[in-house]
Amino acid sequence: MPPRARPRPEAAGITDQTRKDTRAEAAVHIEGLRWRPLTRRAPTIDGLDLVIPAGQRVLLAGASGSGKSTVLRALAGLLDPEDGEGTHLPAPPQRPGARGLLLQDPADALVAASIGRDAAFGPENAARPRPEIHERAARALAAARCDLNPTRAPLDSSGGQQQRIALAGALALDPELLLLDEPTSMLDTATAEEVRAAVLDAADGATLVVAEHRIGPWLPHVDRLVVLGPQARVLADGPPEELLTTQRDVLVDAGVLVEEEDAQARAPREAVGAPVAALEGVTVPARGLHTPQDLALHAGRLTVLSGPSGAGKTTLLRVLTGALSPATGAVTRPEPSRLALVPQDPEHSFVAATVRGEVLASPYAKDPALVEELLERAGLAALAGAHPHRLSGGEQRRLAIVAALAQRPALLVLDEPTVGLDARRRTEVLALLREARDRGCAVLAASHDPLLLEAADDLRRLTASPVGPEIPPERRLPADALNPLTLCLIGILAAAGSFAVQTWQGGLLALLPTLLLAPFAVRSLRGAALRMAPILLSAAGLAWTTALLGEAPSLSCESWLVGLKEAARITAFVAPGVLALGSVRPTPLGDALAQRLHLPARPVAAAVLALVRVGHLGRQWSTILETRVRRGLGTPRSPRLLAGATLALLVDTLRGAEQQALAMDARGFATAQQRTWAEPSPFGRADLVGLAIAVLMLVWPPVAEMLT
Amino acid sequence: MTRFRTVDLLVTVLIGGAFGVAFLGYGQLYTLIGPLTAAFKPAEGLLAGLWFLPAMLAALIVRKPGAALLAELVAAVLSMLLGSQWGWGTAISGLMQGGGVELAFLLTRYRRFTLPVAILGGVLAALLEWGWEKFAYYQEMSWSFSGMMLVFFLISGALLCGGLGWVATRALVATGAVDSLAAGRAAARAAEA
């Protein structure tokens, strides 16, 4: 056993009585806690007793499905009586954020367009005054050891950084109880260590409950280990070193302790034959991959691509599968039907309503006998009639791999196939990868899982700069000086004014102010062209429709002039608004809608979050499309493929929404009807000019008509 | 229960966001019916119902007053900020489409979330959207062609918004992704009964 990292809490408590008093609310006291979600027949927590003195650090261990996450939700006071039946549920905390919650996927905790604003979210919900919000956010970011530029987008940073930003989000409200749900399970070993250190440092003095299935790294830092079995039944409870010696078999049975694996399973294998696929001198500078990369994948070998997040693992995989073209270098790969891809989130690839249907879904999977055999090997035969989306995380991973193997691929490519799984389930996935390898398939997995690294026949480590490239600041435009509401008003009044257009001459004249003012709202010629092209195309389309289907004889000179008038009118209707909106960003728009128009705070804040997450949603959408095209299910134009992809995006979004709601409520959003806002929404002198422009846009078209 | 919990609110706005993203890929569908619309422009109305889907799914899944309107508005504002060719017209469209769907469920006082109500919602959304487009974009189109366009809009609203939206909601319930929402709870109650 490593030496204890800190003194026992009792000792600390005696010397520091005042601290103990202020933390009194954090002490957990639950008795006979039961919880059954309305959509389940059996309870997920069946009579749990748990008393945690203030200041104690508890490791809550248990295999996936043992109810750890539900227990944490209960402790946070976030089990919603609308969702299920519970008895002896702990009440929500007295003040917002008193119980901080960190989730497995840090991306679920991120709510804002910038890191600084993200850390401010909790204090905003708690309706703190503006100077205090900034002070708390800065302090929390420092405490979480997050030293990135606070104007950067949190969703663009690496997994480890995201988890520290999420930690800052919790710390900004001074939690007395910090609840962590597998906070490092998606991170590589080194990054996990950094995050763990930041957590332990920041939680100094607070009560800490960590739910984990990988207990080793936490053991030196906790006072108490609680092992949960199915339905959150306590199997063992006590000081870690005591349980490790006296109840070792209980821990192994519960799946939280893995016995050393036999070395004979990974005897070295020799490289054989020509590679099935290869990368030669590949660079993708646009994705930060500057040094030329070579990679050769041989039949019957398991290759693992490793490296910190952001090192370019996913980029290399996408180049290999043909989803991304390299700037330089050559790629050889098997024909499409013999290249199978398993995405990190297996649900992104699912299309069928049964497990067996899923394995047979790809037109490349032609052999029903092979399908049955693979299902048997993966332990999924009994679940052949179940709904793929209803399987557990580990079963979903195995199903996606089986579906890939059913097409007898020469090359199987997997993105993080074991991330987030517990020890037993990771071993099951590894067994399936070995099965694929032994069938003569070349297997490539991007992973930072030590288990896979150990098992690899070939190991390839990527290194990269830990911080992504800084995005150069946008050129500042005169339009950027305006309040978003002023910019909206310009567009709205211009649209209203455009209805005064009656003749083609008046219509063309009506466009004059838009043409003259456009340079003040256009960042680059290319950007302007991109924004204006669809408008002009629609206007041309409208002119054509009008000339063809108007009251005047079809396609006569008269009808074309009416068409021209319509094209000018619609351009006057649309263009000013589109140009002005180029300077509107979701966050300042939300600030303005809430503080200036006094729209309800929670819907506004939620809508801003949705707009901020669009980039993230876009990335999911591309992964989903790529995965499906790769499975041979159709082209991105096929209605069937688009329908399936939309459904998959919605499943992903809905599951994410549930986690995000938890993270937000732990930061006081549930009661934030009267929240404050970290940034004001000022109206300045420039807005007077903007107002004048808006009025001009309204009255100019009728004036133009009179002039003609 | 009309109170919006955080999860209700997030699901509503994120349905809007997700469709805002998916819609960028839907442009491809217009190339499929390209030959048809080149010959007969009002046939474009055949795809109109797809754009009302965020409202329909939010209403059927969240089942709370205002969900349809909010989801459709988020989708509309999103396409507006990304540079939709209809500018502020998109926001009005969002209001009309979300409002139409909302109206159907309001008529049942948010008690019925069945296929016929969904179809009615799609039809009402199509009617309002057509009215707005006729006023804003197709003033000079002759009434006979406008009338044909309305027919296409109504068919599309009933099938692609009402019918498809209802089917999609059932598919989502089957995945378990909506278990903590009104649609998932209703399905669980029905299964127990």
Residues of A in contact with B175 (CB under 8 A): 387, 389-390, 651
Which positions in chain B touch A548 (Cβ < 8 Å)? 41
A492: its two tokens:
């709205």
Residue A289 has pLDDT above 90, yes or no: no
Judge whether residue A260 has pLDDT over 90: no
Q: For residue B99, what are the domain limits? A: 6-192
Q: For residue A468, what are its two tokens?
A: 């992504």
pLDDT (mean) for A375-400: 90
pLDDT at A273: 65
In whole angstroms, what is the distance from residue A240 CA to residue A252 CA? 14
Task: Say what percent of chain A tops pLDDT 90.
Answer: 52
pLDDT of res. A19: 43
A551/B70 touch (CB, cutoff 8 Å), yes or no: no
Q: Give chain A positions within 8 Å (CB) of B13.
A: 603, 606-607, 609-610
CATH number of A9-98+175-253: 3.40.50.300
Determine whether the interchain pair B86/A492 forms a contact, defined as Cβ–Cβ distance below 8 Å: no
Most confident of A130-139, A332-341, A417-426, B30-39: A130-139
- Closest CB to A651 among B10, B142, B177: B177
- CA–CA distance, A481 with A493 (Å, rounded to integer): 19
Asked if A650 and B18 come within 8 Å (Cβ–Cβ), the reply is: yes
User: Is residue B1 assigned to a domain?
Assistant: no
Domains A9-98+175-253 and A274-461 share a fold: yes
Query: What is the C-alpha separation between A4 and A167, in angstroms, rounded?
Result: 24
pLDDT in tens, A698-707: 999 999 999 8
B-proximal residues of A, 666-685, CB under 8 Å: 669-670
Q: pLDDT tens digit string along A140-149?
A: 999 998 888 9
CB B43 within 8 A of CB B149: no
HEC profile of B104-133: HHHHCCCCCCCHHHHHHHHHHHHHHHHHHH
Q: What is the DSSP string of A178-204?
A: EEEESTTTTS-HHHHHHHHHHHHHHTT
What percent of chain A has a predicted confidence (pLDDT) above 70?
A: 93
Both tokens assigned to A244: 């490790």
Helices B53-62, B67-81: axis angle to 10 degrees equals 140
pLDDT score of A479 more than 60: yes
What pLDDT sits at residue A259?
Answer: 58
Residue A305 DSSP SS3: strand
Q: CA-to-CA distance for A417 and A212, rounded, in angstroms?
A: 19
Kindly report which listed range (A183-187, A260-264, A465-469, A527-531) carries the lowest average pLDDT score: A260-264
What is the predicted pLDDT for the residue at A10?
42
Q: Please give the DSSP secondary-structure letter assigned to residue A149.
A: -
Coil, strand, or helix at residue A331? Answer: strand
User: Three-state SS for A306?
Assistant: strand
- Choice among A15-29, A63-77, A256-270, A515-529 with the minimum mean pLDDT: A15-29
Q: Tell me the angle at which helices A557-581 and A484-497 cross, rounded to the nearest 10 degrees.
A: 170
> A435-446: per-residue pLDDT in tens?
899 888 999 999
Model pLDDT, residue A269: 61
- Say if B158 falls within a structural domain: yes
pLDDT of residue A12: 39
Show me where the domains of chain A are located.
Answer: 9-98+175-253, 274-461, 478-586+687-707
- pLDDT tens, residue by residue, A317-330: 999 988 888 989 99
Question: Which range is least confidently modeled, A220-234, A274-288, A554-568, A639-653?
Answer: A274-288
What residues 20-39 of chain A have any CB closer than 8 A to a CB of chain B? 37-39
* Helix-helix angle B67-81:A557-581, to 10 degrees: 100
The amino acid at residue B192 is E
Chain A 299-328, residues with CB within 8 Å of chain B CB atoms: none
What's the order of all strands across the beta sheet hosting A234-238?
A99-102, A177-181, A207-212, A57-61, A224-228, A234-238
Residue A293: its pLDDT value, please? Answer: 87
- Residues in chain B, overall count: 193
pLDDT at A16 over 60: no
CA–CA distance, A288 with A73 (Å, rounded to integer): 39
Mean pLDDT of A552-571: 90
pLDDT at A532 over 90: no
pLDDT at A471 over 80: no
Taking an 8 Å cut-off on Cβ atoms, the answer to whether A656 and B77 are in contact is no
Which residues partner with B141 through β-bridges? A550
Structure confidence at residue A11 (pLDDT): 40
Mutation test of the interface with chain B: which of A358, A387, A549, A662, choosing the one with the most B Cβ atoms within 10 A?
A549
For residue A79, what is the nearest residue in chain B, using CA coordinates? Answer: B180
- Residues A282-291 have a mean pLDDT of 83
- Whether the CB-CB separation of A123 and A136 falls below 8 Å is answered with yes
Round the average pLDDT of chain A to a whole number and report it: 87
Largest Cα–Cα separation, chain A: 96
- Orientation of helix B67-81 relative to helix B6-32, angle to 10°: 60
CB distance B4–A574 less than 8 Å?
no
Best B5, B9, B90 residue to mutate vs chain A (most A CBs within 10 Å) = B9
Question: Of the candidates A38, A574, A606, which has its C-beta nearest B185's C-beta?
Answer: A38
Residues on chain A touching B90 (C-beta within 8 angstroms): none
Mean pLDDT of A674-679: 94
CA–chain centroid gap for A582, Å, is 26
pLDDT value of residue A179: 94
Does residue A18 surpass a pLDDT of 50?
A: no
B109's tokens: 């006082």
Tens digits of residue pLDDT in A172-210: 999 999 999 989 888 888 888 988 999 998 888 889 999
Task: Report the SS3 class of residue A304.
Answer: strand
Is the pLDDT at A40 greater than 70, yes or no? Answer: yes
Scan for tokens 């609308």, then name that residue: A82
User: How many folded domains does chain B comprise?
Assistant: 1
The pLDDT assigned to A313 comes to 85
- Read off the pLDDT of residues A357-384 as tens digits, 9 standing for 90 and up: 999 999 998 888 999 999 988 888 888 9
Which segments in chain B show pLDDT lower than 50?
none
In chain B, which residue's Cα lies nearest the Cα of A84?
B180
Q: Which of A272, A291, A415, A275 is nearest to A331 (CA)?
A: A275
Q: Please calculate the CA angle B52-B57-B63 and round it to the nearest 5 degrees.
A: 125
- Chain B nearest CA to A258, separation (Å): 31
Give the model's confidence band at A421: pLDDT under 50 very low, under 70 low, under 90 confident, else very high.
confident
Q: What is the pLDDT of residue A26?
A: 47
Rounded to whole angstroms, the Cα distance separating A111 from A125 reads 12
Answer for the pair A310, A346: CB distance below 8 angstroms, yes or no.
no
ipTM: 0.95
pLDDT score at A463: 78
In the predicted model, is pLDDT for residue A102 greater than 50?
Answer: yes
pLDDT digit string, tens, across residues A493-527? 999 999 999 999 999 999 999 999 999 998 888 88
Contact A574 B10 (CB under 8 A): no
CATH fold of A274-461 reads Rossmann fold (3.40.50)
B-chain CB neighbours of A670 within 8 Å are 5-6
> What is the mean predicted confidence (pLDDT) over A578-606?
94
Please judge whether B142 and A550 are an interchain contact, meaning their C-beta atoms are less than 8 angstroms apart. Answer: yes
Helix axes B53-62, B182-192, angle to 10 degrees: 50
End-to-end CA distance of chain A: 91
Which chain B residues are within 8 Å of A577, Cβ to Cβ? 80, 87-88
